[in-house]
Structure 1
Protein backbone atom coordinates (compact mmCIF):
# COMPACT_ATOMS: atom_id res chain seq x y z
CA UNK A 1 0.00 0.00 0.00
CA UNK A 2 2.65 2.39 -1.05
CA UNK A 3 4.40 4.12 -3.87
CA UNK A 4 8.04 5.14 -3.57
CA UNK A 5 9.61 7.02 -6.52
CA UNK A 6 13.20 8.12 -7.21
CA UNK A 7 14.03 10.63 -9.93
CA UNK A 8 16.56 13.44 -10.32
CA UNK A 9 17.78 13.48 -6.72
CA UNK A 10 14.32 13.27 -5.13
CA UNK A 11 12.90 10.26 -3.28
CA UNK A 12 9.14 10.69 -2.84
CA UNK A 13 6.37 8.60 -1.28
CA UNK A 14 2.71 8.68 -0.38
CA UNK A 15 1.74 8.59 3.29
CA UNK A 16 -1.16 6.13 3.43
CA UNK A 17 -0.69 3.10 5.66
CA UNK A 18 -3.07 0.36 6.75
CA UNK A 19 -2.98 -2.41 9.31
CA UNK A 20 -4.15 -5.95 8.81
CA UNK A 21 -7.26 -4.89 10.75
CA UNK A 22 -8.18 -2.18 8.25
CA UNK A 23 -7.06 0.86 10.26
CA UNK A 24 -5.81 3.47 7.82
CA UNK A 25 -3.70 6.55 8.45
CA UNK A 26 -2.50 9.16 5.98
CA UNK A 27 0.51 10.36 7.95
CA UNK A 28 3.12 7.61 7.57
CA UNK A 29 6.61 8.83 6.66
CA UNK A 30 7.95 6.15 4.33
CA UNK A 31 11.05 8.00 3.11
CA UNK A 32 13.98 9.30 5.13
CA UNK A 33 17.64 10.20 4.97
CA UNK A 34 19.87 7.83 6.94
CA UNK A 35 23.51 8.88 6.89
CA UNK A 36 24.64 9.06 3.27
CA UNK A 37 21.58 7.17 1.97
CA UNK A 38 17.99 7.97 1.08
CA UNK A 39 15.62 5.15 2.04
CA UNK A 40 12.00 4.42 1.15
CA UNK A 41 10.16 1.41 2.58
CA UNK A 42 6.98 -0.28 1.35
CA UNK A 43 5.05 -3.23 2.70
CA UNK A 44 5.02 -3.85 6.41
CA UNK A 45 5.88 -0.83 8.55
CA UNK A 46 7.82 -3.19 10.83
CA UNK A 47 10.52 -3.30 8.12
CA UNK A 48 11.62 0.28 8.71
CA UNK A 49 13.63 -0.50 11.85
CA UNK A 50 15.60 -3.49 10.50
CA UNK A 51 16.21 -1.79 7.13
CA UNK A 52 17.35 1.42 8.85
CA UNK A 53 19.75 -0.62 11.02
CA UNK A 54 21.15 -2.36 7.92
CA UNK A 55 21.63 1.00 6.16
CA UNK A 56 23.31 2.52 9.25
CA UNK A 57 25.75 -0.41 9.05
CA UNK A 58 26.68 0.88 5.55
CA UNK A 59 24.49 -1.81 3.93
CA UNK A 60 26.70 -4.61 5.21
CA UNK A 61 25.68 -7.89 6.77
CA UNK A 62 22.57 -9.95 6.23
CA UNK A 63 19.41 -8.34 4.98
CA UNK A 64 16.27 -9.08 6.93
CA UNK A 65 13.96 -11.60 5.28
CA UNK A 66 10.22 -11.33 5.77
CA UNK A 67 9.63 -9.35 8.93
CA UNK A 68 6.94 -10.57 11.28
CA UNK A 69 5.80 -12.87 8.47
CA UNK A 70 5.09 -9.84 6.28
CA UNK A 71 6.64 -8.85 2.95
CA UNK A 72 8.54 -5.61 2.46
CA UNK A 73 10.41 -3.69 -0.18
CA UNK A 74 12.89 -0.87 0.09
CA UNK A 75 14.41 1.56 -2.37
CA UNK A 76 17.82 2.67 -1.15
CA UNK A 77 19.75 5.39 -2.96
CA UNK A 78 23.40 5.99 -2.16
CA UNK A 79 25.91 8.49 -3.43
CA UNK A 80 26.89 6.36 -6.44
CA UNK A 81 24.32 3.57 -6.80
CA UNK A 82 20.89 2.43 -5.79
CA UNK A 83 19.32 -0.83 -4.69
CA UNK A 84 15.91 -2.41 -4.50
CA UNK A 85 15.66 -4.75 -1.53
CA UNK A 86 12.80 -7.21 -1.18
CA UNK A 87 12.37 -9.85 1.52
CA UNK A 88 16.11 -10.39 1.95
CA UNK A 89 17.09 -10.15 -1.72
CA UNK A 90 18.85 -7.22 -3.37
CA UNK A 91 19.03 -5.88 -6.91
CA UNK A 92 21.39 -3.01 -7.65
CA UNK A 93 20.03 -0.27 -9.90
CA UNK A 94 21.41 2.89 -11.45
CA UNK A 95 20.66 6.02 -9.51
CA UNK A 96 20.65 7.79 -12.88
CA UNK A 97 17.43 5.98 -13.88
CA UNK A 98 14.02 6.62 -12.32
CA UNK A 99 12.93 3.82 -9.97
CA UNK A 100 9.57 2.92 -8.42
CA UNK A 101 8.43 0.33 -5.90
CA UNK A 102 5.16 -0.45 -4.15
CA UNK A 103 1.59 -1.09 -5.19
CA UNK A 104 1.42 2.19 -7.12
CA UNK A 105 4.66 1.60 -9.06
CA UNK A 106 3.06 0.84 -12.43
CA UNK A 107 1.04 4.05 -12.35
CA UNK A 108 4.11 6.02 -11.25
CA UNK A 109 6.25 4.53 -14.04
CA UNK A 110 3.58 5.61 -16.55
CA UNK A 111 3.66 9.14 -15.18
CA UNK A 112 7.47 9.20 -15.29
CA UNK A 113 7.38 8.03 -18.90
CA UNK A 114 5.23 11.07 -19.69
CA UNK A 115 7.76 13.42 -18.07
CA UNK A 116 6.52 13.66 -14.48
CA UNK A 117 8.81 14.48 -11.57
CA UNK A 118 9.08 12.09 -8.61
CA UNK A 119 6.45 14.10 -6.71
CA UNK A 120 4.10 14.22 -9.72
CA UNK A 121 4.48 10.46 -10.23
CA UNK A 122 3.48 9.84 -6.59
CA UNK A 123 0.54 12.23 -7.02
CA UNK A 124 -0.56 10.24 -10.11
CA UNK A 125 -0.47 6.99 -8.12
CA UNK A 126 -2.45 8.61 -5.28
CA UNK A 127 -5.06 9.78 -7.81
CA UNK A 128 -5.43 6.39 -9.51
CA UNK A 129 -4.69 3.65 -6.95
CA UNK A 130 -6.88 2.74 -3.99
CA UNK A 131 -3.68 1.51 -2.31
CA UNK A 132 -1.97 4.92 -2.29
CA UNK A 133 -3.06 8.10 -0.55
CA UNK A 134 -2.38 10.94 1.83
CA UNK A 135 0.27 13.60 1.47
CA UNK A 136 3.50 13.32 -0.48
CA UNK A 137 6.74 13.29 1.54
CA UNK A 138 10.18 13.76 0.02
CA UNK A 139 13.85 13.56 0.88
CA UNK A 140 16.54 14.91 -1.44
CA UNK A 141 20.25 14.64 -2.08
Structure 2
Protein backbone atom coordinates (compact mmCIF):
# COMPACT_ATOMS: atom_id res chain seq x y z
CA UNK A 1 0.00 0.00 0.00
CA UNK A 2 1.08 3.57 0.53
CA UNK A 3 -0.06 6.87 1.97
CA UNK A 4 -1.30 9.69 -0.21
CA UNK A 5 -2.44 12.91 1.47
CA UNK A 6 -4.03 16.10 0.15
CA UNK A 7 -4.25 19.44 1.93
CA UNK A 8 -4.24 23.10 0.90
CA UNK A 9 -3.55 22.49 -2.78
CA UNK A 10 -0.68 20.07 -2.18
CA UNK A 11 -0.72 16.32 -2.72
CA UNK A 12 2.01 14.29 -0.99
CA UNK A 13 2.86 10.62 -1.32
CA UNK A 14 5.55 8.15 -0.33
CA UNK A 15 7.35 5.90 -2.77
CA UNK A 16 7.41 2.52 -1.01
CA UNK A 17 6.21 -0.56 -2.85
CA UNK A 18 5.42 -3.72 -0.89
CA UNK A 19 4.35 -7.23 -1.72
CA UNK A 20 2.62 -8.88 1.20
CA UNK A 21 4.74 -8.14 4.25
CA UNK A 22 7.92 -7.40 2.24
CA UNK A 23 9.37 -4.13 1.01
CA UNK A 24 10.03 -4.42 -2.73
CA UNK A 25 11.28 -0.89 -3.38
CA UNK A 26 11.57 2.54 -1.84
CA UNK A 27 11.74 4.24 -5.23
CA UNK A 28 8.37 3.46 -6.79
CA UNK A 29 6.56 6.29 -8.55
CA UNK A 30 3.01 6.74 -7.28
CA UNK A 31 2.19 9.46 -9.79
CA UNK A 32 1.42 8.65 -13.40
CA UNK A 33 0.35 11.08 -16.10
CA UNK A 34 -1.85 9.71 -18.89
CA UNK A 35 -3.53 11.98 -21.46
CA UNK A 36 -2.94 15.06 -19.25
CA UNK A 37 -4.63 13.32 -16.30
CA UNK A 38 -2.62 12.74 -13.12
CA UNK A 39 -3.15 9.49 -11.20
CA UNK A 40 -1.94 8.99 -7.61
CA UNK A 41 -2.68 5.35 -6.83
CA UNK A 42 -2.60 3.08 -3.83
CA UNK A 43 -3.11 -0.68 -3.67
CA UNK A 44 -2.06 -3.52 -5.93
CA UNK A 45 0.55 -2.22 -8.38
CA UNK A 46 -0.46 -4.92 -10.88
CA UNK A 47 -3.98 -3.38 -11.05
CA UNK A 48 -2.97 0.24 -11.63
CA UNK A 49 -3.06 0.01 -15.43
CA UNK A 50 -6.51 -1.61 -15.28
CA UNK A 51 -7.87 1.23 -13.11
CA UNK A 52 -6.38 3.85 -15.42
CA UNK A 53 -7.86 2.07 -18.46
CA UNK A 54 -11.25 1.86 -16.71
CA UNK A 55 -11.07 5.61 -16.00
CA UNK A 56 -10.86 6.18 -19.75
CA UNK A 57 -13.72 3.77 -20.50
CA UNK A 58 -12.13 0.33 -20.96
CA UNK A 59 -14.08 -2.27 -18.95
CA UNK A 60 -12.05 -4.44 -16.60
CA UNK A 61 -12.77 -8.19 -16.72
CA UNK A 62 -11.26 -8.87 -13.27
CA UNK A 63 -11.36 -7.29 -9.82
CA UNK A 64 -9.21 -4.17 -9.55
CA UNK A 65 -7.58 -3.83 -6.15
CA UNK A 66 -6.41 -0.24 -6.17
CA UNK A 67 -7.84 3.23 -5.77
CA UNK A 68 -6.52 6.72 -5.62
CA UNK A 69 -6.76 10.35 -6.54
CA UNK A 70 -7.10 11.77 -10.03
CA UNK A 71 -6.48 15.34 -11.11
CA UNK A 72 -8.36 15.93 -14.34
CA UNK A 73 -9.15 19.33 -15.87
CA UNK A 74 -8.51 21.10 -12.56
CA UNK A 75 -10.71 18.76 -10.52
CA UNK A 76 -9.53 16.51 -7.68
CA UNK A 77 -11.37 13.20 -7.59
CA UNK A 78 -11.16 9.95 -5.70
CA UNK A 79 -11.44 6.92 -7.99
CA UNK A 80 -11.81 3.21 -7.49
CA UNK A 81 -13.34 0.17 -9.07
CA UNK A 82 -16.34 -1.88 -7.97
CA UNK A 83 -16.62 -5.40 -9.35
CA UNK A 84 -20.29 -5.05 -10.31
CA UNK A 85 -20.48 -1.44 -11.47
CA UNK A 86 -16.95 -0.71 -12.71
CA UNK A 87 -15.16 2.59 -12.22
CA UNK A 88 -16.46 5.06 -9.68
CA UNK A 89 -15.44 8.70 -9.30
CA UNK A 90 -16.12 11.20 -6.56
CA UNK A 91 -15.12 14.84 -6.85
CA UNK A 92 -13.52 16.16 -3.68
CA UNK A 93 -13.76 19.66 -2.25
CA UNK A 94 -10.18 21.01 -2.35
CA UNK A 95 -10.89 22.93 0.87
CA UNK A 96 -11.04 19.62 2.79
CA UNK A 97 -7.94 17.58 3.62
CA UNK A 98 -8.07 13.92 2.65
CA UNK A 99 -5.85 10.84 2.71
CA UNK A 100 -5.93 7.30 1.34
CA UNK A 101 -3.86 4.17 1.62
CA UNK A 102 -2.60 2.06 4.48
CA UNK A 103 -1.38 5.07 6.46
CA UNK A 104 -4.46 7.24 5.84
CA UNK A 105 -5.64 7.26 9.47
CA UNK A 106 -2.24 8.48 10.67
CA UNK A 107 -2.08 11.11 7.93
CA UNK A 108 -5.60 12.38 8.64
CA UNK A 109 -4.88 12.65 12.36
CA UNK A 110 -1.70 14.59 11.63
CA UNK A 111 -3.54 16.99 9.30
CA UNK A 112 -6.28 17.41 11.92
CA UNK A 113 -3.50 18.56 14.26
CA UNK A 114 -2.23 21.12 11.72
CA UNK A 115 0.30 19.15 9.67
CA UNK A 116 0.78 19.82 5.98
CA UNK A 117 0.14 17.02 3.47
CA UNK A 118 3.89 16.36 3.32
CA UNK A 119 4.27 16.22 7.10
CA UNK A 120 1.17 14.01 7.31
CA UNK A 121 2.80 11.41 5.06
CA UNK A 122 5.96 11.64 7.19
CA UNK A 123 3.84 11.00 10.28
CA UNK A 124 2.30 7.93 8.60
CA UNK A 125 5.81 6.68 7.77
CA UNK A 126 6.59 6.48 11.49
CA UNK A 127 3.79 3.98 12.20
CA UNK A 128 2.75 2.32 8.94
CA UNK A 129 5.22 -0.27 7.64
CA UNK A 130 3.71 -0.01 4.15
CA UNK A 131 4.61 3.70 3.89
CA UNK A 132 8.24 4.67 3.40
CA UNK A 133 11.05 5.89 1.20
CA UNK A 134 10.95 9.51 0.16
CA UNK A 135 8.00 11.86 0.35
CA UNK A 136 7.17 13.58 -2.90
CA UNK A 137 4.85 16.57 -3.26
CA UNK A 138 3.05 18.28 -6.07
CA UNK A 139 1.28 21.63 -5.87
CA UNK A 140 -2.05 21.51 -7.67
CA UNK A 141 -4.18 24.19 -9.28
CA UNK A 142 -7.74 23.09 -8.60
CA UNK A 143 -11.25 24.33 -9.16
CA UNK A 144 -14.38 23.15 -7.40
CA UNK A 145 -17.97 23.75 -8.45
CA UNK A 146 -20.32 22.36 -5.78
CA UNK A 147 -23.36 20.51 -7.07
CA UNK A 148 -26.74 21.53 -5.72
Q: TM-score, normalised by structure 2?
A: 0.75
Partner residue of 1:22? 22
More strand by share: 2
SS in 1 for 2:91: strand
Matched positions, count: 134
**Does the CA contact (< 8 Å) of 2:79 and 2:88 recur in 1?**
yes
Partner residue of 2:63? 66
SS in 1 for 2:115: coil
Greater Cα shift, 72-81 or 94-103: 72-81
Aligned-residue CA RMSD in angstroms? 2.4
Partner residue of 2:139? 140
Partner residue of 1:105? 104
Partner residue of 1:39? 39
Deviations 1:65-112 (A, max 9, x none): 623xxx111111334432211223332221222121101000000011
Query: Which of the pair has more CA radius of gyration?
Result: 2
In 2, the alpha carbon distance for the partners of 1:95 and 1:79 equals 14
